[in-house]
Structure 1
Amino acid sequence: MREDRADEPAIPSLSGRPWWAANEGLAFALELVALACLCWWGFTAGDGLAVHLLLGIGMPAVAIVLWGTFAAPRARIRLPLAGVLVVKAVVLGGGAFGLYQVGHPVAAVVLAVVVVVNTALAETFRRGPAPRA
């Protein structure tokens, strides 16, 4: 029996390339959904055409800049894990909040739960198990 277990998966039943690829695909879909929810909220928030346009276009644009700068796989600025998770919480959580604000609280909670589970699995897949002594 081998003593070196560094190459063993963190969660054996969920490991492997297909699960990782599916989770990464879901993460990308969740990012797009969050942007769409921010856009939807922005176009319905406030009064007047100018405010609708500013929020409807501006909020997703700010989210895209934040994501691309700090949270994307090829981000320009590499933050520690805690910083990346904060950016993800702001952008993806903002999408869930926007969905709540447009009158879909159950869908917002479902989106938030899926985001948390997806992010937790993504971080689990990125990290291997702790080396054993």
Structure 2
Amino acid sequence: MASPSPLPPALKVFFLANEGLAFLLELLALGLLAWWGYTRDIGRAGSLALAVAAPLAAAVLWGMFAAPKARYAVPLAAQLGVKAVVFGAAALALLALGQRLPSLWFTVVVVLNTALATYYRGRS
């Protein structure tokens, strides 16, 4: 089977912009998990601990399996599964914070961004 053709220059700009958006979405997911953890009514120390632990757990999971230079090379399906868990948790966190419409928009943008990034990474 022939390897995919490289991206034309015009699409490379779009690819780079999409990669930048992916990074921002990853940071936003961590921030949303921290916000959610901090707002839990489990006492000041418990909320602070959860505000640190939730994004830390997501970041470790991401770094081990889903990052471009992940510690462990896993199949694409596993990478997408990890992304679904982290981004899904962030969307649910936003929903738990009473932000229904932003949660929906976050989910839509993440799905489109991840689909495009996966497609373009396969071509480059």
TM-score (norm 1): 0.84
Moved more, 108-117 or 15-24: 15-24
- The aligned counterpart of 2:29 is 34
Q: CA deviation at 1:53?
A: 1.4
Q: Could you tell me how far apart the structure 2 residues matched to 1:54 and 1:87 are?
A: 23
Out of 88, 112, 122, the position equivalent to 1:93 is: 88
TM-score (norm 2): 0.90
Out of 22, 25, 45, the position equivalent to 2:40 is: 45
Q: Percent identity at matched positions?
A: 47
Q: CA deviation at 1:5?
A: 9.0
Secondary structure at the counterpart of residue 73 of structure 1:
coil
Superposed, 1:1-133 pairs within 5 Å as: 6-7=4-5, 16-128=11-123
Change (3 A) 1:47 1:77: same
More helix by share: 2
Q: Could you tell me how far apart the structure 1 residues matched to 2:102 and 2:4 are?
A: 39
Q: Could you tell me how far apart the structure 1 residues matched to 2:36 and 2:93 are?
A: 5
Unaligned runs of 5+ residues in structure 1 are: 129-133
Q: State the one-letter code of the partner of 1:45.
A: R
Q: CA deviation at 1:46?
A: 3.4
Change (3 A) 1:47 1:116: same
Unaligned runs of 5+ residues in structure 2 are: none
Segments ≥4 residues shifted beyond 4 Å = none
Alignment RMSD: 1.8
| CA displacement 1:67-105 (0-9 Å, x = unmatched) | 111111110001100100011011111111111111101
Q: State the one-letter code of the partner of 2:107.
A: A
Q: State the one-letter code of the partner of 2:64.
A: T
